[in-house]
Chains A and B, each alone.
Chain A
């Protein structure tokens, strides 16, 4: 809601022309030409409004086609792509998948996903540090994911910038690996604040690193009390069943009207 007048914040603009109203007379004592002069424009517009509108559009597309869209965010090297490869292979035949890969450069990740036989589109952001709703819109226009499928959107590896940009996803999943440090949620609070699920990856490495699972959980819950946490290892397979169960529960959840 607009803080100034209480109108719904739909981007409508009101104009005020101080000292000048519409039907005023421009003729006065001396002779010169002038424009209307200074105007104050009350904008009251969210800076991310354009992105948010496109995100809503994506959301509508996903809802209409009953597509479960998940935005996977993490730092580089946390194991997002490996987790996807594993998931796509293990759940093949049970769920229909499509993947959008976001990276600054290369199609390496898309090639890995393609090798599993899953429909995939790579977005290269160039110098960009995150995906936005506009990029995802074009990706889905091109790939046309099937009805009732699961769409993984693997964001650019970055725990900062993707936090701000709604892509139209149903859930945001943050992945953190045990080699990263258990204070990561406190260092990058925004991404944990906006995620609904936190996957702690590479737990097979716990004996070798000073990482406390309890500590990271505590830190994540300081920021987001309701965040769901699942511990997994893509190497040993530990915890993957819990992740698959979570995924299936989201797919099967009936839409409430």
Chain B
């Protein structure tokens, strides 16, 4: 359940940013979560519901931008989408990959009031 730590970090970041903007509530939060970031969505959902209680995020609308995995095969130099870290290059079947997208784990923006 590292998802709980992830949610706690989000609350901390959001609260700090809200206070910095002289606001008292968060209406909306936009997150970026990559498919290869290691966050399990069901666990994240569960942790979120419990953890945001009595925080400025309690009533916030949460938007999640899911980022799909994208890798470059360093042998063939082609880009292809991946869903797992062990996916093979569709051309050569190799695993010498550079992960270009999908590792994201970010707070993008807030709407505060």
Contact indicator A47/B96 (Cβ below 8 Å): no
Interface residues on B, range: 20 to 34
Asked if B111 lies at the interface with its beta carbon under 8 angstroms from chain A, I say yes
Contact indicator A47/B113 (Cβ below 8 Å): no
Kindly supply a per-residue 1/0 record for chain B positions 22-47, scoring 1 wherever the CB is within 8 Å of any chain A CB and 0 otherwise. 11000100010000001000000000
Contact indicator B20/A186 (Cβ below 8 Å): no
Q: Tell me whether A47 and B111 are in contact in the complex, defined as CB-CB below 8 angstroms, given that A38-B27, A129-B1, A132-B5 are known contacts.
A: no
Contact indicator A38/B2 (Cβ below 8 Å): no
Asked if B17 lies at the interface with its beta carbon under 8 angstroms from chain A, I say yes
C-alpha spacing A86/B38, complex, angstroms? 33
CB distance from A14 to the nearest CB of B (A): 10
Asked if B110 lies at the interface with its beta carbon under 8 angstroms from chain A, I say yes
Which of A58-66, A215-223, A228-236 faces chain B? Answer: A215-223
Asked if A172 lies at the interface with its beta carbon under 8 angstroms from chain B, I say no
CB contact between A50 and one of B12, B84, B105 (< 8 Å): that residue: B12
Asked if B106 lies at the interface with its beta carbon under 8 angstroms from chain A, I say yes
Contact indicator A40/B5 (Cβ below 8 Å): no
CB distance from B13 to the nearest CB of A (A): 5
Q: Residue on B with the closest CB to A163? A: B38
Within 8 A of B (CB), among A6-49: 13, 15, 35-49
C-alpha spacing A9/B89, complex, angstroms? 31
C-alpha spacing A36/B20, complex, angstroms? 14
Q: A interface, by DSSP: helix, strand, loop or mixed? A: mixed
Asked if B76 lies at the interface with its beta carbon under 8 angstroms from chain A, I say no
Asked if A189 lies at the interface with its beta carbon under 8 angstroms from chain B, I say yes
Q: Residue on A with the closest CB to B3? A: A161
Q: What residues of chain B lie closer than 8 Å to A225, measured between beta carbons?
A: 95-96
C-alpha spacing A56/B17, complex, angstroms? 23
Q: Tell me whether A41 and B109 are in contact in the complex, defined as CB-CB below 8 angstroms, given that A190-B85, A222-B95 are known contacts.
A: yes
Contact indicator B9/A50 (Cβ below 8 Å): yes
C-alpha spacing A161/B2, complex, angstroms? 5
Q: Residue on A with the closest CB to B28? A: A40
Q: What residues of chain B lie closer than 8 Å to A222, measured between beta carbons?
A: 86, 88, 95
Contact indicator A46/B106 (Cβ below 8 Å): yes
CB distance from A161 to the nearest CB of B (A): 4
Q: What residues of chain B lie closer than 8 Å to A128, measured between beta carbons?
A: 5
Asked if B51 lies at the interface with its beta carbon under 8 angstroms from chain A, I say no
Contact indicator B109/A42 (Cβ below 8 Å): yes
C-alpha spacing A49/B1, complex, angstroms? 19
Within 8 A of B (CB), among A97-135: 128-130, 132
Q: What are 15 of the A-B contact pairs (CB < 8 Å)?
A: A39-B23, A41-B18, A42-B109, A43-B13, A43-B14, A43-B17, A47-B6, A47-B9, A47-B10, A47-B13, A49-B9, A50-B13, A186-B86, A223-B85, A223-B86
| Residues of chain A at the chain B interface (Cβ within 8 Å) | 13, 15, 35-51, 128-130, 132, 160-161, 163-165, 185-186, 189-190, 192-193, 219, 221-223, 225
Top 6 nearest A-B pairs (CB, nearest first) are A161-B2, A189-B85, A222-B86, A41-B110, A43-B107, A222-B95
| Residues of chain B at the chain A interface (Cβ within 8 Å) | 1-2, 5-6, 9-10, 12-14, 17-18, 20-23, 27, 31, 38, 84-86, 88, 95-96, 105-113
Besides the contacts A47-B105, A161-B2, A164-B38, what 14 more A-B pairs have beta carbons closer than 8 Å?
A: A13-B17, A38-B27, A39-B21, A39-B112, A42-B108, A43-B14, A47-B6, A47-B9, A47-B106, A49-B13, A128-B5, A165-B5, A185-B86, A190-B38
